[in-house]
């Protein structure tokens, strides 16, 4: 058989097996990140990055780069037709081309060397950016990138902060440059949060895929704000500008507080340009000793009543407890927009009662030290008998030997728990052998029973024995 017949036979065999002679010669090759090389159709070129960085390819060939999950990588936009840069994480990538044999020049710069030029306020490897966000000025051009360092625990979030000395309209111009196509989560989310105890929700801004100079605006009262950028894997830049508002949304003030059987009625004055109002309630007798945050009762619903009074539902309130009440104006036509908060008022809530005088018995209290099986930690358990006409109970406890009591109120009818605060520096923090004194009294509206006897308890519960019950003192 001559050479021609042998070649024809091999070609026929390849066709029978379902691939061409060119496909049979396809290969997987390594593509160095620096130097001049050749690529051609049919081959797969492996690109390995030990660290994240910028890979630049200069070639006239048409090609595609994908990561190990087959996500298509997107080059950073520029005006060049032949030179393109990719900002990539550490890992393995595949390059394929639809062009015939073509020359390609590659270069690589590690992200560590580029970090300061790409990120105006570089993210730290060890510090949470939310704890001490950098201050951004109006008109300042800011660059950044997210989720390119795999080893950075806080690398997926950028947080910035700015302050307004008077009500202003803030305009944001934002551009995003993801490293993968939009089907792989190339959505950037920008949230603005007021730095205040009296929290409220400003509208969220999102941009998809490659976005250039996308605009959004917020109308804001004076104060400090945090801007959080999340969701993107790639680069971004933005600029904020502001202008003073003429005739800004006016604040309101509380004009009356009236207890009802359904809760606490709050009355307030009408504010210019307001379409609704938000009421805040802050518990001043925290059970767990930590600083409580005011709760906006309308936030979860996302609707703000137009009426000049609202009733705080009884589910937010406990008879005998003291609260801090405040209100702010809202305009939902643009944003929404929020005014400053009114001057808070302290108020002790008592349920209305038709009984002018009622005899309340002193509670018969039992105090125990128990173990919480789910957390393997001790707590002080209080139990008492259910009594008629009682709206709430006041619990007071202190470290043995201390003069001052910490008190809180409960709606529970027969039991309550006292747990350790999370702060180890708190004088009430539970340690083995610490002794406490506890007492309670019953309330009907503003009428109060005598205090129970003071009960002593220590935290010598055996953590290993989850069923152990130590009754220290009973009345």
User: DSSP letter string over 411-430?
Assistant: --SSEEEE---S-TTSTT--
Residues 302 and 377 in one domain: no
Q: How far apart are CA 382 and CA 286, in angstroms?
A: 17
Number of Cβ within a 10 Å radius of residue 399: 14
Residues 400 and 323 in one domain: no
Q: How far apart are CA 301 and CA 332, in angstroms?
A: 13
Residues 6+ apart with CB under 8 A from 145: 87, 118, 119, 234, 235, 236
Residues 45 and 91 in one domain: yes
Residues 134 and 93 in one domain: no
Asked if residue 355 belongs to a domain, the reply is no
Q: How far apart are CA 253 and CA 267, in angstroms?
A: 9
Residues 129 and 236 in one domain: yes
Q: How far apart are CA 217 and CA 173, in angstroms?
A: 9
Asked if residue 353 belongs to a domain, the reply is no
Residues 11 and 1 in one domain: yes
Residues 327 and 230 in one domain: no
Spell out the per-residue pLDDT of the chain, length 475, in tens: 454 444 444 344 444 444 444 444 579 999 999 999 999 999 999 999 999 999 999 999 999 999 999 999 999 988 888 999 999 999 999 999 999 999 999 999 999 999 989 999 988 878 888 888 999 999 999 999 999 998 888 889 999 999 999 999 999 999 999 998 866 657 899 999 999 999 888 989 999 888 899 999 999 999 999 999 999 999 999 999 999 988 789 999 999 999 998 999 999 999 999 999 999 999 988 776 666 788 888 877 778 999 999 999 888 899 999 999 999 999 988 778 999 999 999 999 999 987 778 889 999 999 988 887 777 788 899 999 999 999 999 999 999 999 999 999 999 999 999 998 888 888 888 888 889 999 999 999 999 999 999 999 988 775 434 444 444 333 3
> What is the pLDDT, as a whole number, of residue 408?
94
Asked if residue 43 belongs to a domain, the reply is yes
Tell me the CA distances in angstroms from 463 to 362, 375, 377, 378, 379, one per residue in order. 33, 10, 6, 7, 11
Cα distance between the two ends of the chain: 112
Pick from 224, 244, 264: which residue ends a domain?
A: 244
What is the three-class DSSP state of 442? Answer: strand
Instruction: Kindly report the backbone phi and psi dihedral angles of residue 116, in degrees, each rounded to the nearest multiple of 5, phi listed first.
Output: -70, -30
Pick from 80, 113, 146: which residue ends a domain?
A: 113
> What is the pLDDT, as a whole number, of residue 125?
79
CATH number of the domain residue 333 falls in = 2.60.40.10
Asked if residue 354 belongs to a domain, the reply is no
Residues 154 and 178 in one domain: yes
Pick from 63, 96, 113: which residue ends a domain?
A: 113
> What is the pLDDT, as a whole number, of residue 182?
65
Domain count, the chain: 5
- Over the Cα atoms of the chain, what is R_g? 33
Residues 234 and 263 in one domain: no
> What is the pLDDT, as a whole number, of residue 185?
58
Residues 142 and 48 in one domain: no
Concatenating the DSSP letter of every residue in 267-329 gives EE---TT-SEEEEEEEESS-TTSSPPPPEETTTTTT----SSEEEEEGGG--TT-EEEEEEEE
Please choose, from the candidates 195, 205, 202, 201, the residue with its C-alpha nearest in 3D space to the C-alpha of residue 232: 205
> What is the pLDDT, as a whole number, of residue 287?
76
Number of Cβ within a 10 Å radius of residue 118: 17
Q: Which residues pair with 17 in a beta bridge?
A: none
> What is the pLDDT, as a whole number, of residue 213?
96
Residues 322/347, Cβ–Cβ less than 8 Å: yes
Residue 357 backbone zone (phi > 0: left; psi -120 to 50: alpha; other: beta)? beta
- Using the CB atoms, write b or e for 295-311: b if 16+ within 10 Å: bbbbeeeeebeeebebe
Residues 239 and 123 in one domain: yes
Q: How far apart are CA 418 and CA 420, in angstroms?
A: 7
Residues 48/72, Cβ–Cβ less than 8 Å: no
Asked if residue 357 belongs to a domain, the reply is no
CATH number of the domain residue 124 falls in = 2.60.120.380
Asked if residue 358 belongs to a domain, the reply is no
Residue range of the domain that includes 414? 365-474
Residues 129 and 230 in one domain: yes
Please choose, from the candidates 235, 134, 220, 117, the residue with its C-alpha nearest in 3D space to the C-alpha of residue 175: 235
Q: Which residues pair with 234 in a beta bridge?
A: 146, 178
Q: How far apart are CA 176 and CA 237, in angstroms?
A: 7
Asked if residue 360 belongs to a domain, the reply is no
> What is the pLDDT, as a whole number, of residue 291?
62
Asked if residue 317 belongs to a domain, the reply is yes
β-strand 309-313 against 263-268: which pairing, if any? Answer: antiparallel
């Amino acid at each position: 058989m001559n050479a021609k017949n042998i070649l024809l036979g091999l070609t026929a065999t390849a066709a029978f097996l379902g691939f061409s002679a060119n496909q049979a010669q396809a290969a997987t090759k390594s593509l160095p990140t620096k130097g001049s090389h050749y690529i051609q159709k049919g081959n797969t070129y492996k690109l390995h990055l030990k660290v994240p960085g910028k890979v630049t390819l200069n070639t006239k060939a048409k090609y595609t780069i994908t990561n190990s999950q087959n996500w298509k990588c997107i080059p950073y936009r520029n005006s060049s037709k032949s030179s393109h840069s990719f900002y990539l994480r550490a890992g393995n990538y595949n390059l394929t081309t639809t062009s015939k044999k073509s020359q390609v020049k590659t270069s690589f710069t590690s992200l560590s060397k580029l970090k300061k030029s790409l990120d105006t306020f570089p993210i730290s490897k060890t510090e949470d950016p939310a704890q001490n966000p950098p201050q951004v000025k109006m008109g300042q051009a800011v660059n950044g990138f997210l989720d390119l360092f795999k080893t950075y625990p806080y690398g997926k979030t950028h947080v910035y902060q700015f302050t307004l000395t008077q009500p202003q309209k803030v305009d944001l111009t934002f551009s995003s440059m993801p490293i993968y196509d939009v089907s792989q989560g190339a959505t950037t989310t920008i949230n603005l949060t007021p730095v205040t105890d009296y929290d409220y929700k400003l509208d969220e801004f999102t941009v998809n895929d490659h976005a250039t100079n996308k605009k959004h605006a917020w109308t804001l009262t004076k104060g400090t704000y945090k801007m959080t950028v999340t969701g993107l894997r790639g680069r971004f830049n933005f600029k904020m500008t502001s202008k003073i508002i003429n005739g800004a949304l006016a604040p309101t003030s509380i004009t009356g507080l009236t207890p009802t059987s359904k809760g606490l009625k709050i009355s307030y004055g009408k504010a210019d340009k307001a379409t609704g109002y938000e009421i805040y309630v802050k518990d001043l007798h925290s059970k767990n000793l930590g600083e409580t945050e005011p709760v906006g009762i309308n936030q979860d619903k996302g609707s703000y009543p137009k009426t000049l009074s609202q009733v705080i539902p009884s589910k937010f309130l406990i008879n005998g407890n003291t609260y801090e009440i405040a209100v702010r104006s809202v305009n939902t036509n643009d944003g929404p927009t929020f005014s400053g908060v009114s001057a808070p008022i302290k108020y002790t809530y008592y349920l209305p009662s038709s009984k002018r005088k009622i005899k309340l018995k002193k509670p018969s209290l039992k105090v125990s030290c128990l173990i919480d099986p789910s957390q393997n930690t001790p707590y002080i358990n209080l139990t008492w008998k259910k009594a008629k006409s009682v709206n709430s109970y006041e619990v007071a406890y202190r470290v043995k030997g201390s003069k001052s009591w910490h008190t809180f109120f409960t709606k529970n009818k027969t039991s309550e728990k006292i747990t350790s605060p999370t702060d180890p520096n708190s004088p009430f923090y539970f340690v083995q052998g610490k002794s406490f004194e506890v007492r309670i009294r019953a309330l009907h509206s503003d009428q109060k029973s005598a205090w129970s006897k003071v009960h002593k308890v220590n935290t010598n519960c055996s953590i290993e024995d989850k069923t152990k019950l130590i009754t220290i003192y009973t009345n």
